């Protein structure tokens, strides 16, 4: 599998060069077991908390160019075939950075721990923020709980009316102009 820490180290400067903040880098495999793998990069424009299509395309080009340059220099970070997916975090975004827990305080979240913490593995309730490196959540069952960030397996916001109201509308301008390139790699090589 790919070295996510190294990928992050390579991708983050590319995002920053465009004025974006990296939210998450993740390598996934197809559930069908067909070997289809994706390098998923999630980033946001700090001014809007999202990326529009043109921004995703610009970041995708920068990442592809950087990974190609490293490979040309002999460093292969991701072995084998994969495709690159660059996206905005969306409304029910993952909470991956410490500031996410304070920035989205007051909204409902789901947090799954690596293993049971305080006799529970999954928590859901109002996010209260971040205190001393601990995510604070008002869990429906356990009450107010402090969870160490280092032990969190996954965390994300829950789509609620309050979250929708607090989130700027997504900008879909340019979506109708996307043209899918159906040229195969062999056809590109022949050009």
pLDDT category, 30, cuts 50, 70, 90?
A: low
Distance (Å, whole) CA 67 – CA 61:
10
Q: Is residue 176 scored above 70 in pLDDT?
A: no
pLDDT band at 163 (very low <50, low <70, confident <90, very high): confident
Looking at per-residue confidence, does 16 or 169 come out higher? 16
Beta bridge partners of 62: none
Per-residue pLDDT, 36: 83
pTM across the whole model:
0.76
Q: At the top level of CATH, which class does the domain 98-166 belong to?
A: mainly beta
Helix axes 53-72, 4-17, angle to 10 degrees: 130
The predicted pLDDT at position 5 comes to 93
Listed in order, the ranges of the chain carrying CATH 3.30.300.70 are 4-89
Per residue in 41-58, pLDDT tens?
999 999 888 899 999 999
Task: Give the SS3 label for residue 2.
Answer: coil
**Contact between residue 101 and residue 95 where contact means Cβ atoms under 8 Å apart:** yes
Q: Where in the chain is the domain with CATH 2.30.30.180?
A: 98-166
99-140 pLDDT per residue, tens: 999 999 999 999 999 998 888 999 999 999 999 989 999 998
Give me the mean pLDDT over the 136-162 stretch.
Answer: 94
Which CATH topology does 4-89 take? GMP Synthetase; Chain A, domain 3 (3.30.300)
Confidence label for 167 from pLDDT (cuts 50, 70 and 90): confident
Percent over 90 (pLDDT), the chain: 66
Weakest mean pLDDT among 58-62, 73-77, 183-187: 183-187
What confidence score (pLDDT) does residue 109 get? Answer: 96
């Amino acid at each position: 599998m790919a070295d996510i820490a190294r990928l992050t180290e390579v991708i983050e400067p590319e995002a920053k060069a465009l004025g974006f903040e990296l939210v998450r880098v993740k390598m996934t495999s197809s559930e069908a077991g067909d070997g289809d793998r994706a390098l998923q990069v999630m980033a946001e424009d700090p001014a809007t908390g999202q990326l529009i299509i043109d921004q995703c395309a610009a970041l995708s080009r920068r990442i592809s160019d950087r990974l190609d340059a490293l490979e040309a220099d002999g460093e292969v970070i991701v072995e084998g075939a994969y495709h690159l997916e660059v996206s905005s975090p969306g409304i029910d975004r993952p909470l991956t950075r410490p500031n996410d827990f304070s920035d989205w305080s007051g909204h409902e979240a789901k947090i799954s721990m690596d293993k049971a913490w305080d006799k529970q593995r999954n928590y859901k309730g109002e996010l209260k923020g971040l205190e001393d490196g601990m995510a604070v959540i008002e869990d429906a069952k356990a009450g107010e709980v402090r969870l160490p960030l280092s032990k969190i397996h996954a965390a994300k916001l829950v789509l609620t009316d309050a979250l929708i109201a607090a989130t700027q509308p997504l900008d879909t301008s340019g979506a109708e102009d996307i043209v899918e390139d159906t040229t195969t790699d062999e056809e590109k090589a022949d050009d």
